[in-house]
A and B are shown apart, each in its own frame.
Chain A
Amino acid sequence: MRIPCPYCGSRDVSEFSYLGDAAPQRPDPSGDASSVEAAFFDYVYLRDNPAGPHRGLWYHGAGCRNWLVVRRNPSTHEILEVALAAKEPAA
């Protein structure tokens, strides 16, 4: 598998580290305790785990050291889309 990094171009998968699913968003910890608890349970443990297109977080450690969001078909290993995980923070 090769991943087209927006900065470095098409590189072998061994240059990257995989973190996990890009979908879960850390919930807001303020608010009613039981609903916060349920939201955190969902965030930490539950996953859609689709067989179709899936977005994952990858780190290009042996290249530009950017975090990427890679949209990929886990049934075929086809890479559908690659984007930077975050814009450069404002100085």
Chain B
Amino acid sequence: MRYSLFSLLGNTLGGHKGWKPTWRDAAPKPAYDVVIIGGGGHGLATAYYLASRYGVRNVAVLEKGWIGGGNMGRNTTIIRSNYLLPGNIPLYELSMKLWEGLEQDFNYNAMVSQRGVLNLYHSDAQRDAYARRGNAMRLHGVDAELLDRDGVRKLYPFLNFDDARFPIQGGLLQARGGTARHDAVAWGFARGASDRGVDIVQNCEVTGITIVNGRVTGVETTRGPIAAGKVGIAVAGSSSRVAAMAGMRLPIESFVLQAMVSEGLKPIIPGVITFGAGHFYISQSDKGGLVFGGDLDGYNSYAQRGNLPTVEDICEGGMALMPAIGRARILRTWAGLCDMSMDGSPIIDRTPTQNLYLNAGWNYGGFKATPGSGLVFAHLLARDEPHPAAVELRLDRFARGAVIDEKGQGAQPNLH
């Protein structure tokens, strides 16, 4: 069913009894041309672009739980392309351009909202770093505007300008950045892929990868063996575990990142704000909740739940930036599982096993990349060569010394 004003009116008159399920909840077939492991945003987007742009439709997405139950449903929904390094900018900007036309493309309301992302600076050194970042962005055709203190005050008069320990000096604004409804992005990609023949198989955990003479031939799952011409891994925080099924060790460790949401409030924060003197970022959802987060719980974890000292630290950051937040009550906190790579940047590549492909290392920043990641991974799977926007993101960059160390923190995944 195509969604439109007419479908809405028609169903309204029919008492809303005519709506169909958004996608087919498929049972696995014995064989596919392409099997994608992981029904998060990236796996679903990959399937969607494989079917819609590359004409590969005999595809299955295998998800061990329910689609969007991983990081896709746990992130803080921020989309932006304010990256610094030439290896990163093309992918994130490709993704931003896809966001801008996504809802028309897949005919689904993903609530993409370009409300602006503002990164605050609090020192001269930080201002210089942001000026450099803004210049790098503009050289790549990405929008960026460096604001001074008055510029920030005009946008957000309620921030603490007067007695802060780290006074706000200004900020770098990407006006095209913003937020999108994360669940709806997963559902939209699932629907678009399913309508084009892709099987979306939930409750189907991949437990083994079958390799014959150095070439992948299929996967073992909790719903039986499935043969495949090609297999793509897109399992975010579980990357090391699934890669180990193919005998690979990755430059990745898994950590949890927490987020929290307040009770619903009237609109107070129009855009996305990040606190440059600590680690805190905040936006307001369309339901009114303040959505915020900060640092990783900085040690290996697969628990999908965090610890309280990090919650406390994040809330202190919030109080320092906008003291009014102390009046709001926190409704929920949760955590997602992030595959932290050794340079903080993603890995999209073939693997040493023929016809086995890897999409991993999204750290805690991969939501914004969802459409772009899907498109470049579909390109790799269909054409067997990297998409031009992802050539720098290959796996051998660590061995070649060509790391993409956006934060300049070295090979220390818990610091990225």
Contact = CB atoms under 8 A, between A and B. Distances in A.
Interface string B292-318: 000000111111010101000000000
30 contacts: A1-B307, A13-B307, A13-B309, A18-B299, A20-B253, A20-B412, A20-B414, A41-B399, A42-B249, A44-B398, A45-B251, A45-B398, A45-B399, A46-B249, A46-B251, A47-B252, A48-B240, A48-B249, A49-B240, A49-B250, A49-B252, A49-B254, A49-B300, A74-B299, A74-B300, A74-B302, A74-B303, A75-B302, A75-B303, A77-B303
A76 interface: yes
Contacts of B320: none
Contact of A47 (B240, B298, B305, B399): B240
A42 B342 CA distance: 12
B310 to A, nearest CB: 9
Interface residues on A, range: 20 to 34
Interface in A40-86: 41-42, 44-51, 54, 56, 58, 74-77
A54 B249 contact: no
Contacts, number: 64
A18 B414 contact: yes
Contacts of B149: none
Given A21-B300, A74-B254, A74-B301, A47 B249 contact: yes
A76 B298 CA distance: 15
A14 interface: yes
Contacts of B240: 47-50
B241 interface: yes
Contacts of A45: 251, 342, 398-399, 411
Contacts of B411: 44-45
A21 B309 contact: no
A49 to B, nearest CB: 4
Interface in B384-411: 398-399, 411
A32 interface: no
Given A74-B299, A75-B301, 11 more contacts: A13-B307, A45-B411, A46-B251, A47-B240, A47-B252, A49-B241, A49-B300, A56-B299, A58-B299, A74-B303, A77-B307
A47 B303 CA distance: 18
Interface residues of B, number: 23
Given A12-B309, A13-B307, A18-B414, A77 B301 contact: yes
Interface of A: 1, 12-14, 18, 20-21, 41-42, 44-51, 54, 56, 58, 74-77
A47 B301 contact: no
Interface in B323-345: 342
Q: Max chain A CB contacts within 10 Å: which of B240, B412, B414?
A: B240
Contacts of B299: 18, 56, 58, 74
Sorted nearest first, the 10 A-B pairs with minimum C-beta distance are: A49-B240, A14-B309, A45-B251, A18-B299, A46-B249, A75-B302, A51-B302, A45-B398, A74-B300, A74-B301
